[in-house]
Structure 1
Amino acid sequence: MTKRVYSFKEGNAEMKGLLGGKGANLAEMTRLGLPVPNGFTISTEACMDYLNNGRQFTDELKEEIEAYLKQLEEESGKAFNSKENMMLLSVRSGSKFSMPGMMDTVLNLGLNDENVKHLAEITEDETFAYDCYRRLLQMFGDVVYGIDTSHFENFLEFYKRKHRVQLDSDLTAEQLKEIVHEYKRIYLEIKKQEFPQDPKEQLFAAVIAVFSSWNNERAKVYRKLHNIADDLGTAVNIQLMVFGNSGNQSGTGVAFTRNPSTGENKLFGEYLINAQGEDVVAGIRTPSPISELKESMPEIYQEFLEMGELLEKHYGDMQDIEFTIENQKLYLLQTRNGKRTAHAAFKIAVDLVEEGLKTKEGAILSLDPQSVNQLLHPVFVEEALKTADKISSVGLPASPGSATGKICFDAGTAKEWSDRGEKVILVRQETSPEDIGGMVVSEAIVTSRGGMTSHAAVVARGMGTCCVAGCSELEIDEFLKIVKYPNGELHEGDVISVDGTNGDLYVGEVELTLSEKNEDFETIMAWSKEFSRLAIRMNAETKSDIKTGIAFDASGIGLVRTEHMFFAPERLIEMRRFIISQKSEERTKALETILAYQIDDFKEIFSTIEGKSTVIRLLDPPLHEFVPSKQQDVERVATEMGISYEFLNGRINELHEINPMLGHRGCRLAVTYPELYIMQAEAIIRSAIALKNENGLDVAPEIMIPLVGMDGELRLLKEKIEAHIEQIIATEKATVSYTVGTMIELPRACLIADDLAKEADFFSFGTNDLTQMTFGFSRDDAAKYINQYVAGGILPVDPFQTLDVSGVGELIRIAVEKTRQTKPNMKIGVCGELGGDPLSIEFFDQLGLDYVSCSPYRVPVAYLAAAQSAIRLKNK
């Protein structure tokens, strides 16, 4: 028979996968000789067996539980139904990864109508006995029978008001008997059955309930939020009860060995006298700070302090400890690595290294890379959120941070209001490059359409602006300037608050607090760079973005999106002349004007990045994105350009594409209009020559041709670009080191990477388009259904947020292997948004890529993730 149950003496801290975190830690504390109430753990495997096999609680498992129950009785000298030494149990969940409050607990199990009388006699305290019984009835009813706990709580509050009792602990024995009687009546009324009187029946029912709680809604949401797998299951810990509610010499509490908010090396926690553990969590009574225990029970306080120090040293991390005091005797019920804020996490990690409790590697591995976002962006005050009026929580957390401002529905208004000192939030169905002026001045951006790699999301992350995208609950009428949501509507000028970290929206102003870089953050970043093998670049083209990336020590720029440079009014009109004109001389004249602008653009980029590696992607979007779509805009542009409305409208219709993402864009545009890429290449080289002449700055630009799917495309365009560049260099008698590579963003490009490598000097994977093309998902529209795919288990995660390793990842693997066979030392990077995702970074590191590139504000996240990956690979 497969072993499914383990006594605390049989386990240890390394068995978290089998015993869950709580069971493994109870076993470890037992092994260390700490005062842990005796018990045993039913494994996570037993839970998954139960859930995966028709929820059958097998006779074999029952027999094994009964054998350990008998052993517990023999070791403790206690027994169910004993009139002299009664055994009562707690039944608690405990998965491999801590999920506090997500699953279920039953305390005081074993009490019934007879045993409560025996307990009263044994303890000579009838009040205590019936207090335990009413607690069991409520918890068992909630956890096992699914009776809404409000039925019990409402009656209890009514009873206390009726009898003018303030606290639960003030209830008399007779009053508790009446409450117990009513609680049992609730069972009959709601479930049409009585509370089970057999302790073993109670135990098996509680175990089944804890198994089932693995799949309750809050546990599923928590796992999704924290990337915990659904197939791990929960262990069940059966443990002798100790009673913090047995008088004023007893109590219960929770304490952290360090402050979980600040990281200060000082005991932090709360406790309640004459209470059980659930009372602390429920907030029915106001707990006292743990420091007061030093006055009321000094010996207990000192003992707890010493045990906390021992556990912190043993685990090498800050501990979250649950404890109970029963008649002046201290018991430890649980320890685990404590949850903490990002600020505290970085401080604790650095302090533990300085104290010799962790290595640098261990400190880096202990941190969540995504928590870096909390350090770099404003966040809402937790207390303020509790009373805030929520608009929606279904949006995508596209760019972290928190912001408050007045709603604006168009970029012009946003700019105007911002100029007069107003804080604004741009709210649109979706954004386009022409909205950039309003986006730059906005505190946050909200869209009802689009995904994690939509225009709004990508630009917001690059600017470090918080953004909630794809918020499908919102009906945004940009013409009437109204936002409708399930419980109301908002108008232009109304104040809202946006949480880009969680995807939540609130009515009105929510108080903000600033999180800034500090010495501990800088220390962790320095250690991360020390261990990281991957170089970390940034996706940036504006001076402010580049400076942000430099401040985070990005090793260069992995993606300059040149299309973002064309939407200023004076440039847009020249680009429109180029597109709309059917005469080559007019197109040439327009490009000459654009060339001057582009030289200035690249000079600013190269001088700001100070000679670090820079990849410049040549123009990529479809031509129709540069032309107006609404009638009034077409009329205005026709007037500006001095052409007829009819001619312009005709050209716009000619440029229209049914599926523009698969249309006339990227290198296909240059095959048709090679002069466009030649102009950009000239601007890049002339800017490099000018900087060398002006201040001696050596620039080695990396010119990237996008959307290549055939080696013929790359060969043709590279030859034209290089021929033009060499002619300029010869004419100017200059020396410029440059390379020409391609962006791998089509499945076909991955499959012929060895052929492309013969032509290219470098590769960079564009994971946004590669994911889109591989799945056949529109990255701007997938938000409408992608959450259902994830929730329904069709997809484990949104592939636009974390790399789809088995599909898209396999294409990347094929491309890398083919490339390395052709050119072993060719530089290969990633410039899609997945370059800033920790799980994706680990995959890229394992493949041996040279760098990843991400939004400037994600550079620290990427450094920490890359360091963690390197450490894990080294430790394998």
Structure 2
Amino acid sequence: MTHAAPQKPAPDSPDVTIITATSPMTPSSHGGRAKCLQRLVRLDLPVPHTVALSFDAVHRIAAGEMPDVDAMVRSFPETALLCVRPSSEDPDWGGPGAILNIGMNDARFVELSDRIGAEAAASLYLRFVQGYAVHVARLDPDMFDDIEEVGQTGLSAALAAYEEEAEEPFPQDPAEQLREVLRSMARAWEGTTARLLRQARGAPADAGLGLVVQEMALGLGGKGECGSGVLQLVDSVTGLRQITGRYLSQSQGREALERKGQSLYLTRDPRGPSLEELAPEAFEALKAHAEVMRRRLRAEMQIEFTLENGHVHILDGVRVARSPRAAVRIAVRLAEDGIIPPQEALMRVDPHSLSELLHRQVAPDAPRDVIGMGIAASPGAATGKIVFSANEAQASAARDEPCILVRRETAPEDIRGMHAAVAVLTERGGMTSHAAVIGRGLGLPCVVGAARMKFNMRRKQLVAEDGRTFRAGDVITIDGTHGAVLAGAPEMIEPVLDDSFQTLMTWADEARDIAVRANADTPADAATARNFAAEGIGLCRTEHMFFEEDRLTPMREMIFADSPQDREAALAMLLPMQRKDFTELFRIMEGLPVCIRLFDPPLHEFLPTSRAGQRDLAEALDLPVSDVTRRVEAMGEYNPMLGMRGVRLGITVPEIYDMQARAIFEATLDASRDGAPVVPEIMLPLVSAKREVEILRTRIDAVAAAVRAERGAEFTYRLGVMAETPRACLRADEIAQHAHFLSFGTNDLTQMTYGLSRDDAGRFMSAYVQQGVFSEDPFHVLDVDGVGELVAIGVARGRQARRDITLSICGEHGGNPESIQFCRALGMTYVSCSPFRVPVARLAAAQLAIRDRLGENV
């Protein structure tokens, strides 16, 4: 690279300006790359002379209004070659590829041949001809396929091929070359395909593009060491301190990464030669530059560099690409080194990405043979053999064979199979379907709503979207993070919750101002919740406790009982089991609040639907099969989700709630003997009228009095309501007079407000979101306008009637960062979510509190 002092372009303006320490530019006007180069210039790093074009300038170029390119070229040394790179506001939005060696022509070829050698000069010229032909002149890249020669012979052939295809000689004027490159890149950015691609990456439709025109450091020829490479101080996957990157002699741009087989390691390595050995002074300078960038730019940066005759030139600096694991470790390390404060470290980690830390994932570089797509209902990835029933899953687990449970949709009777499986795939369902909710609670990878695949349950076949058939026993992988079904067993990476994760979570807990509980139905769920530092259980769905083998038969006997006395006899068998469950939950939570929702689903869910299952039940109950069939048919409902379930069941079949209340109170006394006093929270589901609460509170108080008398011991409990019907929100002032707390069950509330089946909405929800009917799936992100207004009414009216009432949300939205924002704004006491989403909620709540304290818009 020549070091002659460049002339300032005339005219100079904020839209086309040399990058200096004081140039007027921001990421929102010139893009992130231009701003980063300015920061490098301010650090006095060896950055080649660069001119930046603003978003407005590039937009005008696309419209046909070209800036003074001749003046731009004059600002560079006369013999300099140039490159043009994109500079978007966010590097993840992409952009057109860089064009190198602009200004190369016949005259420059002669001059460079004398300076760096004819072969190196020919290589530079050939690369420019090929890049210009394909990306600027938009010629067919196949035109170069027959050119096998390299050096001057290959260059001559390429120039001839260009002239034949373009019907004109290759342009020789550097200003004309630059003008066409700028026009091509500007128009490429504003094309329909590019716009759709960047919108898919989260960019706004009108996102702007800046361009930077930079003097080339050649990296070829020369008398000293020449080449190019990239260097960073951390590993992108682990986040550990480790110099990584590659260097390739006689190369340009990012060729060192593209030709890894030929490139050198950076540090000494037994596997091959390294830059540290080849050019130790340049290597030490690069390390020093990288450390300066880390501390002064307050981020781990990747340097793109070129060596020209042993001298280092920094062409670009970008934030290091990072896995979720690395993002946490990098942010914490920067804070521990005093480079950024802990609050800023918290803001640098995406809460959604934490889910990937808690589960196994398909390795980022692993080949992916995708056979189907659905809704990413529960994160993580797992590989196993296909099974088509819960019984098959249990048998597979007994053989220590990992299996994937494949169902059209899951029902409560499938829970045993879900516990046995390593992942679940369903044809139907959405974000709050049975499979999705249970999968997230268990930390089980789950893809639901894979409707473009064919599920042939009778033949035990799964047909991929491309027509391939998979049978029971075939191995597939469920990627619940991305909603993909893969053939075979790709490489996995294991979850690692290291000290950096724990440190980040400690900082999050210090910053947040809303409590986070977990939805936990079993002792195993509760233990997971404690491991993730949940501040109690916000929802324990007791019905999931009744599907174990030893509990299902007495449950069915209770359903078939003809009198209250017979029901009580059957339930007496379940009482000690429930008491044991609750005692264990209380002991695991060690004095933290435990909110237990009484029995919710319709009773027919506990009855077999197949003829074989009904025969087995008839045999167990010593009844004719016809009696069993008639009872099953009689208990069917046209719309079970709006039928006899929840509090309605508690009023019409009160023996169930009596038994559960007794089990809770006896467990309270048992657990309190060994540890901190327990104050259980009992929640009534599906309430819509205050009278329902009055009736059941009277019965529960009576059970409490009986247990106190029998045990000779005192205890207290809190009674609350799960507000999940629109009427409960509208009449919250009446209901709150009889309740200690209101917990909004947003799964059912969304379903009832929209009139949408949460199990079936997945079939068409993606089309609705794509066409803008809904901005987001309302079962995934809380609809703050519709459902949220009902919640806000319920909060206001409930608080009006009872100032000390506890308010919370316990639907699956409780783990969603966007929904937590809404809950904080309403002043709720806590949110509750699946155990594996507790860290996500803790971090999201901390970030919201920090933004509020900094006065930013949340």
Residue by residue over 1:192-244, the C-alpha shift from the partner in whole angstroms, topping out at 9 and shown as x without a partner, is xxx996642442232121233884565344x2xxxx34346142223124144
1:105 aligns with: 97
- Cα distance, 1:739 vs. partner? 0.8
1:595 aligns with: 575
Q: How many residues align?
A: 826
- Cα distance, 1:506 vs. partner? 2.7
2:764 aligns with: 785
Amino acid aligned to 1:92: P
2:306 aligns with: 324
1:663 aligns with: 643
* Correspondence 1:123 to 2:112: yes
2:88 aligns with: 94
Residue by residue over 1:737-766, the C-alpha shift from the partner in whole angstroms, topping out at 9 and shown as x without a partner, is 211111122333333333332232112222
TM-score (norm 1): 0.87
Contact 1:405 1:423 in 2 (8 A): yes
1:243/1:184 Cα in 2 relative to 1: closer, same or farther (>3 Å)?
Answer: farther
Distance 1:830 1:14 in 2: 45
- Cα distance, 1:172 vs. partner? 0.8
2:441 aligns with: 462
- Cα distance, 1:479 vs. partner? 2.2
Distance 1:327 1:231 in 2: 44
Residue by residue over 1:497-526, the C-alpha shift from the partner in whole angstroms, topping out at 9 and shown as x without a partner, is 232222333322333343332222222222
Amino acid aligned to 1:368: D
- Could you list the runs of 5+ residues in structure 1 that have no partner in the other structure? 51-55, 79-84, 164-170, 190-194
1:672 aligns with: 652
Contact 2:30 2:54 in 1 (8 A): yes
Q: Where do 1:494-513 residues align within 5 Å? A: 494-513=474-493
Residue by residue over 1:689-718, the C-alpha shift from the partner in whole angstroms, topping out at 9 and shown as x without a partner, is 3333x5365211111111223333333333
Distance 2:167 2:544 in 1: 68
1:356 aligns with: 338
- Cα distance, 1:23 vs. partner? 2.5
Residue by residue over 1:539-589, the C-alpha shift from the partner in whole angstroms, topping out at 9 and shown as x without a partner, is 112122211221222211111011101112343233333334443333333
Contact 1:116 1:129 in 2 (8 A): no
Contact 1:830 1:851 in 2 (8 A): yes
Contact 1:246 1:327 in 2 (8 A): no
Q: Where do 1:153-302 residues align within 5 Å? A: 155-156=144-145, 159-160=147-148, 163=149, 171-183=150-162, 199-212=178-191, 215=194, 218-221=197-200, 223=201, 228-231=202-205, 233-247=207-221, 249-283=225-259, 286-291=262-267, 292-302=274-284
- Cα distance, 1:844 vs. partner? 2.5
Contact 2:426 2:450 in 1 (8 A): yes
Distance 2:751 2:99 in 1: 51
Residue by residue over 1:51-80, the C-alpha shift from the partner in whole angstroms, topping out at 9 and shown as x without a partner, is xxxxx9446xx25xx15x4553453355xx
Contact 1:257 1:267 in 2 (8 A): yes
Residue by residue over 1:232-265, the C-alpha shift from the partner in whole angstroms, topping out at 9 and shown as x without a partner, is 6142223124144532643222221322233333
Tell me the SS of whatever aligns to 1:290.
coil
Distance 2:73 2:447 in 1: 56
Distance 1:14 1:629 in 2: 68
- Could you list the runs of 5+ residues in structure 2 that have no partner in the other structure? 1-12, 169-173, 268-273
Residue by residue over 1:626-670, the C-alpha shift from the partner in whole angstroms, topping out at 9 and shown as x without a partner, is 222222322332332233333333333332222222222222222
- Cα distance, 1:597 vs. partner? 2.9
Distance 1:578 1:666 in 2: 17
* Correspondence 1:409 to 2:388: yes
Please identify which structure carries the higher helix content: 1
Amino acid aligned to 1:99: D
Distance 1:700 1:777 in 2: 37
Amino acid aligned to 1:273: S
Aligned Cα RMSD in Å? Answer: 3.2
Distance 2:175 2:630 in 1: 81
Distance 1:754 1:681 in 2: 25
Contact 2:48 2:217 in 1 (8 A): no
Identity of aligned residues (%): 35
1:773/1:261 Cα in 2 relative to 1: closer, same or farther (>3 Å)?
Answer: same
1:771/1:14 Cα in 2 relative to 1: closer, same or farther (>3 Å)?
Answer: farther
Distance 1:403 1:42 in 2: 48
- Cα distance, 1:722 vs. partner? 2.9
- Cα distance, 1:99 vs. partner? 1.1
2:607 aligns with: 627
Q: Which deviates more from structure 2 when the two are superposed, residues 86-95 or residues 490-499? A: 86-95
Amino acid aligned to 1:33: D
2:722 aligns with: 743
Distance 1:428 1:244 in 2: 60
1:82 aligns with: none
Contact 2:404 2:421 in 1 (8 A): yes
Distance 2:636 2:598 in 1: 22
2:75 aligns with: 75
1:366/1:118 Cα in 2 relative to 1: closer, same or farther (>3 Å)?
Answer: same
* Correspondence 1:551 to 2:531: yes
* Correspondence 1:523 to 2:494: no
Contact 1:7 1:41 in 2 (8 A): yes
Amino acid aligned to 1:370: H
* Correspondence 1:798 to 2:777: yes
Tell me the SS of whatever aligns to 2:819.
helix
1:479/1:332 Cα in 2 relative to 1: closer, same or farther (>3 Å)?
Answer: same
Distance 1:243 1:251 in 2: 9
Distance 1:11 1:639 in 2: 87
1:769 aligns with: 748
Tell me the SS of whatever aligns to 1:460.
helix
* Correspondence 1:29 to 2:43: no
1:93/1:679 Cα in 2 relative to 1: closer, same or farther (>3 Å)?
Answer: same
Contact 2:229 2:257 in 1 (8 A): no
Distance 1:804 1:798 in 2: 9
Distance 2:261 2:24 in 1: 34
Distance 2:266 2:733 in 1: 65
Distance 1:144 1:277 in 2: 18
Contact 1:144 1:209 in 2 (8 A): no
